Amino acid sequence: MRAMWSGSISFGLVNIPVKLYSGSQSNTLDLDMLRKSDLCPIKYLRVCKNDNQEVPYEEIVKGYEYSDGEYIVLTDQDFENASLEKTHLIDIVDFIDEREIDTRFFEKPYYLEPEKTGPKAYALLREALKRSGKVGVAHYVLRNRGSIGILRPLDQVLVLNQIRYAEEVRDASDLKLPGDENLREQEVTLALSLIDQLTVKFDPEKYKDQYVDDLKRIIEEKAQGRMPAPQAKQPPPPRVADMMALLKESIKQKRKEAA
């Protein structure tokens, strides 16, 4: 892996030099845009809105429109100077119980590796987090954006989980949601029984992106001149049904599979 950032973790008066690596990757298919008539690849041009002339990449700068049609140009040095210290710092400001964090806030994981001068301090922080059962809340700047993350140990590596700010999470109060006044206790009991039968130990390797695999199958079949057929029928439209009967049948089927 190639490091995408280097700086240090600030832990009280302790600074731990580290490198940051992406802890995730995309599994989507890389599809090109083509002209329908002759399958000519499409490319995108950067064009000036005023004269429709293409603008070379080296002539493009970033600017903020502070009033109608008036821009302030920002350079790489401006982004650096906005917070010179924070651009190279993962600043732990609090320690909390990770169970208190709403799952809607989690966004993206990163791995942290100690620099040559930081292994002992890195191991110390990792061990302290393990024994305390806490995680660190940290501020940092990455790709010209101020971010907040959760620092936690995972085996021998420190993971920085980027989380969303509170204002980035939408409020669900406008949704029309049902209450629980119409639920029957027997229905809840059956639902709990079904959940118990379907409960397993979490194994991330078990779950695959079947949709991408199906797309690859279709691509391969079309490349060989065959017309791909759908793998399954379209599901019927949802309808309100007898929940008790459905739950009982689900439990019955699961018992058959187990047998």
pLDDT the model gives residue 55: 93
pLDDT the model gives residue 239: 60
How large is the C-alpha radius of gyration of the chain? 26
Q: Which two tokens stand for residue 230?
A: 């759908």
Q: Which two tokens stand for residue 81?
A: 């100077």
pLDDT the model gives residue 42: 92
User: In tens digits, what is the pLDDT along the chain, a chain of 259 residues?
Assistant: 889 889 899 887 888 999 999 998 877 788 889 999 999 999 888 999 889 999 998 999 999 888 888 889 888 877 776 665 567 889 999 999 999 999 999 999 999 999 998 899 999 999 999 999 999 999 998 877 889 999 999 999 999 999 999 999 999 988 998 888 888 888 888 888 888 888 888 888 887 877 788 888 888 887 888 877 776 666 666 565 677 777 788 888 878 777 6
pLDDT the model gives residue 149: 95
CATH class held by domain 5-28+80-167: mainly beta
Q: Which two tokens stand for residue 94?
A: 């609090």
pLDDT the model gives residue 155: 94
pLDDT the model gives residue 97: 94
Task: Identify each DSSP E strand in 12-61 by its residue range.
Answer: 14-22
Task: Identify each DSSP E strand in 47-105 by its residue range.
Answer: 62-67, 70-74, 89-96
Count of H-run helices and E-run strands, the chain: 5, 9
Report the distance separating Cα 167 and Cα 152, nearest Å: 23
Report the distance separating Cα 7 and Cα 160, nearest Å: 13
Task: Identify each DSSP E strand in 155-256 by its residue range.
Answer: 157-163
Say how many C-beta atoms besides its own lie within 10 A of residue 52's C-beta: 8
Whole-prediction pTM: 0.73
Amino acid at 118: G
For the four alpha carbons of 39, 44, 50 and 55, in that order, the dihedral sign comes to: negative
Residues in the chain: 259
Specify the DSSP element, H or E, that contains 131: helix 119-132
Report the distance separating Cα 215 and Cα 152, nearest Å: 36
For the chain, the domains span 5-28+80-167, 185-258
* Angle of helix 185-198 versus helix 243-258 axis, rounded to 10: 20
Q: Report whether 128 contacts 46 (CB < 8 A).
A: no
Q: For residue 191, what are the CA distances in angstroms to 179, 205, 222, 247, 249?
A: 17, 27, 43, 6, 11
